[in-house]
Each structure stands twice: as C-alpha cells, then as structure tokens.
Amino acid sequence: MAQKYTIPKGTRDFSPEEMARRNYIFQTIQSIFKKYGYLPIETPAMENLSTLMGKYGEEGDRLLFKILNSGDFLKNLDTEDIENKNLGKVTTAIAEKGLRYDLTVPFARYVVQHLNEITFPFKRYQIQPVWRADRPQKGRYREFYQCDVDVIGSHSLLNEVELIRIIDSIFRELNINVVIKLNNRKILTGIVETINAPERLTDITTAMDKIDKIGVEKVYEELRGKGLDEDTINMLEPVMNLSGDNTSRLNCLKELIGATDTGSQGLEEMQTILGLTKQLDLKAEIKLDQVLARGLNYYTGTIIEVIAKDVSIGSICGGGRYDNLTGVFGLPDVSGVGISFGADRIYDVMNELTVFPEEALNSTDVMLVNFGDKEAAYSLGILEQIQQTGIKAELYPDAAKMKKQMKYADQKKVGYVLLIGEEEMNTGIYTLKNMKTGEQTKGNLEEILTILKP
C-alpha cells in the first residue's frame, strides 16, 4: 500500500479540472490587461529579507516565510540569542531570504532597481503566487496567486478610469455581475477634518468601513470604545447615512465636507472619474461609497473595491492610488494607481454561479481508439493530419479493451471518439462517435474534420 504523503497545510495541488478553470480565469485577466496596453514583468519568488521586512507591519513580518541560509547557516549565530529565545535575532542570523508576501513590494523594488530601463508611465501587470504563513482556513491559503495591474509615473485620473474599464471588461467576460465601489482618501480626510477630529483618521475610517458588515449602531459603539465623544459621533451621522445615486451623494458630500480643501479636492477627483465613466459602455454598477477605506494608510487618492452582486464572499478585486510606492526604497514621489484581482475568490464565485464556459473545460477534442499494432501505426498518420488542423487529438496508447478505452475518453471529457479498425483502414471511411449525444457518423477524413472543426 502507498504511504500517506501530503502537502504542507494551507497549500494545494491543482488537478487538470481545476487547472482548466483557473487557467480560464488567468487567461481572461491577462488578455484584457494586454488589450489595455499593460506589459508583464516577473520577479523572483525569493527576495532578500531586508527588502521585505518592515513593509507589512509587525504581523506581516511574522507571516513571512523565511528561507534557511545554504551551507553553514550556523556560522553567524550567537548561541546566547538561542538561550534567550530571541527569535528575531536568531532569524536574522540564519535566514537572509524570504518568500514574497505580495506583488507590491517586489514591484516597488523592481522599479527602483531598474529605474533607468523603464519608460514612464510604466503600465505593468504581474500574475504570480505569493506566500503567507497565515493560519489556514476556508478560502485562506498559504500559497495563492495575485493578479496585479498598476500604472506608475502618471497623476492623470484617466488611469483610474482605465482601471475601472479593465474591471468592467474582465468581469463582463467572466460573466460575474459586480458593483465597483469608489472612494477617495481625500474625502475621508475631509470628513474627519469637518468633524474636527483629523488626528483620529484611522480609528474613524476603520470603524466606518465596517458598516456593511456590522451595521451602523455597532460602528458607533466601536467609536465610543475608541474614546470619541457623542458630539463628534453625531456629526458623523449625515455622512454615515448618505443615500441615493452617485450624483445626489456627491452633492450631499459637497455640502457636508466641501469647505475643507482636501475634501473638496477629493470630491472634484470623484466627479471627474464619475463623469468620464458615465459616457462609457460599462456593465458594472459604479457606486460612490464614502465610507470605503481598505488599507487606508497605503492609499493617497482614489480607493476601489469590487463586490460580486450575486454571491456574498467579500471583495474580489481592490486597489487605489498611492503617491509613495517606492519611498521605502529611497525613491520618493512616484505616484501610481493599481488594482489586484483575487483569483481564488473569483474561482469560488464562478463555481457557485456555474458560469465557467464549457469550451474552457474541454480537454481533448477527439480520441482515436487503438485496435492493435497495425491499426495504431495507421492511425498515427491520421492523428498527425488531424492535429495539423489545430484540433486537440490523441491515440489511446494501448490496444486495451474497448470498454476501458471508452471509459478513459468519458472520464477525460473527450468530445469525440474516432474508430479506425481493419475495415476502416481498407475503405478509408471512419466512424466518429459524439461522446455527448452518442451519435455516430461515418465519413472520410475530410468529412470527419468538418465535424470536428467547428
């Protein structure tokens, strides 16, 4: 008996069936990135820990997978640090490299390192796995793919509009109805300035962002817990309770926070973006969401989040504008805007909605049955001619029982089976069986090809 061999927790194998679905998602995303003029880059799985550490907060540092130095990894180790259980110092002594935690920090490092080779504005996409030593749970893995698309070196809001169009194109193609929520860091700043609590930006926006999940009363409770007084909380009420379409929200916000410089600027940006998208043929619903915050400290302008309308699973895409991507690497003032697509969640959504197109899941178009050495040798020539037309085809490798060969074709979801026995060899008239309908057709190679090639 085979022993039990498994893979590390939080990681996954992908079977051919899963790969067909996953590749459909990746290919759709990639082809749309390309259609909008974005170019791919790739960075190594391993980065120096000096590049990664300190970029994701203390929790992030802990969740980095660290790679043991090769060779004599003990040589820089101070045994006192072991005795004191100083994990940080021991780690530094024995591990110089780590697995990338996201695609953003490696991208920032890439831009700084290759500054002289890059033409700005730099429109790049990157589809690669990332690793996090998170506690594995449903929908959360230790290895997962990110699909990032960013444009850096341009302040134009046309970039935001382009990303909205990309989101729309991708989810239209994938057959998922979505809401694209938009906000702006400057609107959030305007809100806290208006209620005279600018120093509480993070506390207030983090709490407000939860309104959809926990409801307005719990948000107030959280704010009270954080020491905000009732007056301030009362001043937040009109912002929290905004309703109506984007235009009326925008108008209300102008009245509420338009007196602050930053708020006014944020609203102007929002108005430009909403105006430009209005004339476009978008399928997605665009919604101004004045409480949307996401990873706030990171974003400096537009904030974007995408929600599937018909499946409740959280955000399936998100991003925004950041004005200091490469600052941590010593290159200030590089503005960029980008979004990231969550392939795993999109996969779950598409499975739940059963919207994977059947063509994407087909494997081989036609399988030639193997009737024996002589027939197989003859079939090889036919196989070659079939494949030369671009049709995916295979010859069953063994002269196994017909039942076994048909079972293989069935389980592999092969579209057609072609039978070339001795009689067929002599007449040049072959039998083609449609595996879905069971229908059988006879014909010469040319006629068979007409059926196989849609």
The residues in 337-376 that bind a second copy, with binding defined as CB under 8 A, are: 363-364, 367, 370, 376
Report the residue from 261, 398, 422, 439 that binds a second copy according to the rule CB under 8 A: 398
Tokens matching residue 132: 């996090």
Of residues 2, 118, 103, the one with CA closest to residue 52: 103
Q: Of the candidates 259, 355, 360, 377, which one interacts with a second copy according to CB under 8 A?
A: 377
For the segment 127-166, give every residue that binds a second copy (CB under 8 A).
129, 131, 133, 142-143, 151, 154-156, 158-159, 161-162, 165
Candidates 228-236, 241-249, 251-259, 377-385: pick the segment binding a second copy (CB under 8 A): 377-385
Among the listed ranges 172-180, 213-221, 288-296, 323-331, the one in contact with a second copy (CB under 8 A) is: 323-331
Is residue 454 at the binding interface for a second copy, with CB under 8 A as the rule?
Answer: no
The smaller minimum CB distance to a second copy, of residues 57 and 381, is found at 381
336: which 2 tokens?
């960029």
Place of tokens 């609590």: 197
Of the candidate residues 76, 87, 212, 261, the single one contacting a second copy (CB under 8 A): 87
Give whichever of 215 and 275 is closer to a second copy, judged by the CB atom: 275
Q: Is 402 in the site for a second copy (CB under 8 A)?
A: no
Applying CB under 8 A, does 76 fall inside the site for a second copy?
Answer: no
User: How long, in residues, is the chain?
Assistant: 454
| 124 burial via Cβ count (<10 Å: 0-12, 13-18, 19+) | buried
CB of 283 to a second copy, least distance (A): 13
Q: Does 428 bind a second copy (CB under 8 A)?
A: no
- The amino acid at residue 28 is T
CA 198/CA 192 separation, integer angstroms: 5
Q: What is the dihedral angle through the alpha carbons of 211, 213, 219, 225, rounded to the nearest 10 degrees?
A: -150
40 binds a second copy (CB under 8 A): yes
What value does the CA radius of gyration of the chain take, rounded to a whole number of Å? 28
Listed in order, strand segments (DSSP E) in 69-173 are 95-99, 122-131, 143-152
Q: Is 97 in the site for a second copy (CB under 8 A)?
A: yes
Using rule CB under 8 A, residue 42 touches a second copy: yes
Distance CA 242, CA 279 (A): 25
CA distances from 406 to 11, 14, 255, 327, 431 (A): 34, 25, 71, 61, 14
End-to-end CA distance of the chain: 46
Interface positions, 194-253, toward a second copy (CB under 8 A): none
Counting contacts by CB under 8 A, is residue 78 touching a second copy? Answer: no
Within positions 43 to 62, which residues make up the interface with a second copy, using CB under 8 A? Answer: 43-48, 50-51, 62
